Structure 1
Amino acid sequence: MAQAQTNHATTEAPGGAHEDIGFPPFETETYAGQLLWLAITFVVLYTLLSRLVLPRLGGIIENRRAMIANDLDNAAAMKSRAEEAGAAYERALAEAKGRAQALAQETRAKLSAESDAKRKALEADLNQRLADAEATISAKKSEAMSHVDAIARDTASAIIERLTGKAPAPQKVEAALNQIKA
């Protein structure tokens, strides 16, 4: 069987003596030096921080605060300008709608007037044509009626001639027709 190997590290003090050495900050002999260096380091660090770092940080914070305040003021101004622009847009839109409605009403009235004028002109033309047609019809009717006596005379003479074989006397036909009219 194989032998088990052990790897144990041992700490020995130099020179072969085994002394019990503690943690140096806890050594009571070095308290005074440690406290002195702590005070010196604290004062140096405090001075560096208060004189160099903190003023720079304070300046940066103030600059940032001023930028934020300026940005907020600009944003408020832009918002008010945007609201004013929106209100102006709404007013312009309302005015444009009003003008469009007025223009449409004006155009509607103009077209209506033109249409009425054209309609009246057409009605007058049609009434004139109707009057002319009635006058023509009346003239043709009276002309035709004036020929009715001659047609009746000619027709009666033709019928009598056809029935009897000889033409009747025009005075007798005229007398018979006058008797029928009365």
Structure 2
Amino acid sequence: MATEPIDAEMAGACVGPNGSAIGMPQLCADWVGNQVVWLVLALVAIYFVLDRVALPRIQAILAERQGTITSDLAKAEELKAEADEAEKAYEKALADARVEAQKIADETRAEIRGQVEEAQAKADAEIAAKTAESEKQIAEIRASALSNVEVVAKDTAEALVAALGLSADKAALDAAVDKRIEG
């Protein structure tokens, strides 16, 4: 770069005797004005390129993102409202199911209670019938025992009188035993 000969008239004090630049040309005070002009032109060109091309694209992308975020938030609010409604419907259905289960349980308890009472009444009737039958059999046994006691008492009285060596009429002995049994 520094090998090209520079016109000494145009270069001013920044050119050496052989026509090459001395040191860094950017630091040459004679060229500062020219460099500032080109710097300003480059910055203006970059500003216009950014302003007309890059920044509108960036703004469009940011606006699109903002729109997406806004629509997503709105959709999330709708879904949250639907979830709340679904939860309320679930809670109501659960409460209704509990009420229905309690109703069924009460009906079942009443039905079972009725069946138990019916079975208990049937068992009580069977027990009462068996008790009456048993009492009848006991009465028959008692009557049979009393008649047997009477026969045994008459036979024993007759044997005692005979054992004592006395003689007694059988009809008189039977009358005496009957009188004693009656009280």
Name the CA shift for 1:37/1:151 in 2 (closer, same or farther; >3 Å).
same
- Is 2:93 the partner of 1:89? no
Equivalent residue number for residue 132 of structure 1:
133
Equivalent residue number for residue 27 of structure 1:
29
C-alpha displacement of 1:75: 1.3
Structure 1 contact 160–167 (Cα < 8 Å) conserved = yes
Give the unaligned 5+ runs of structure 2: 1-14
Equivalent residue number for residue 74 of structure 1:
75
Structure 1 contact 153–177 (Cα < 8 Å) conserved = yes
Equivalent residue number for residue 6 of structure 2:
none
C-alpha displacement of 1:174: 2.1
Q: Equivalent residue of 2:147, what SS?
A: helix
Cα distance between partner residues in 1 of 2:79 and 2:46? 46
C-alpha displacement of 1:37: 2.0
% identical aligned pairs: 30
User: RMSD of aligned C-alpha atoms?
Assistant: 2.7
The superposition leaves residues 96-130 of structure 1 with CA deviations (integer Å, 9 ceiling, x where unpaired) of 22222222222211111111111111111111111
Cα distance between partner residues in 2 of 1:177 and 1:22? 168
Cα distance between partner residues in 2 of 1:21 and 1:149? 165
The aligned length equals: 165
Task: State the AA in 2 paired with 1:76.
Answer: E
**Relative contact order: is structure 1 or structure 2 higher (C-alpha 8 Å, sep ≥ 6)?**
2
C-alpha displacement of 1:29: 6.2
- Is 2:50 the partner of 1:44? no
Cα distance between partner residues in 2 of 1:41 and 1:178? 157
Give the TM-score, by structure 1 length.
0.76
Structure 1 residue runs of 4 or more that deviate by more than 4 Å after TM superposition:
13-16, 20-26
Give the TM-score, by structure 2 length.
0.75
Structure 2 contact 161–168 (Cα < 8 Å) conserved = yes
Q: Equivalent residue of 2:87, what SS?
A: helix
Task: State the AA in 1 paired with 2:177.
Answer: L
Cα distance between partner residues in 2 of 1:96 and 1:171? 89
Cα distance between partner residues in 2 of 1:129 and 1:42? 123
C-alpha displacement of 1:64: 0.6
The superposition leaves residues 134-156 of structure 1 with CA deviations (integer Å, 9 ceiling, x where unpaired) of 12212222233233332221110
Task: State the AA in 1 paired with 2:121.
Answer: K
